Amino acid sequence: MAIDLWIDVILCLSVLFVASSIFLVKNTFSAIVLFICLGLVVMFCWIRLNAIDVAIAEAAIGSGLTGAMLIAAWRKLAFNESGDQPDEQKEKSE
């Protein structure tokens, strides 16, 4: 009983901690990685709530696929800021 309660308290606190640290970090990439971590922590919360199927969906879509999309978007952003490389390629292809 007491151990269960402590696990729940630690999970709640870690969700709040990870979620707030997403807004507090300056680096975009760290924020993305923290977002993926948040998805995994929330997955543990769903498991504690006995919702295994929601946990699977949260792990796969919430942190896996969304994380992949965010990292792909971050790569594009970094590419554009670093120089004119992509624009030149575009002109050549056209």
Partner 1 sequence: MKTSSLVSQRTMAVVIISLVSAIAALLLIAFIQQPVHDNALREVVFANLDKTGVSNPVTAVLLNYRAFDTYLEFAVFLCVAVAVLPYVLDVQLPKQKLSAESQVLAIAKIFVPLSILMAGYLLWIGSTQPGGAFQAASLLAGCLVLLSLANVRTIDFSTARSRFLLSGGLLAFIVVNIVVFSQTFCFITLPQNIAGSLILFIEFFATFAVSASLFLCFESIHKGHL
- Minimum distance between the CB of residue 52 and partner 1, rounded to whole angstroms? 4
Whole-angstrom distance, CA of residue 34 vs CA of residue 80: 23
Number of residues that bind partner 1 (CB under 8 A): 18
| 53 touches partner 1 (CB under 8 A) | yes
| 80 touches partner 1 (CB under 8 A) | yes
Classify 50 as helix, strand or coil.
coil
Contact 18, 10 (CB under 8 A): no
Residue keyed to tokens 């699977």:
56
Question: Which chain residues interact with partner 1 by CB under 8 A?
Answer: 51-53, 56-57, 60-61, 64-65, 68-69, 72-73, 76, 80, 86, 90, 93
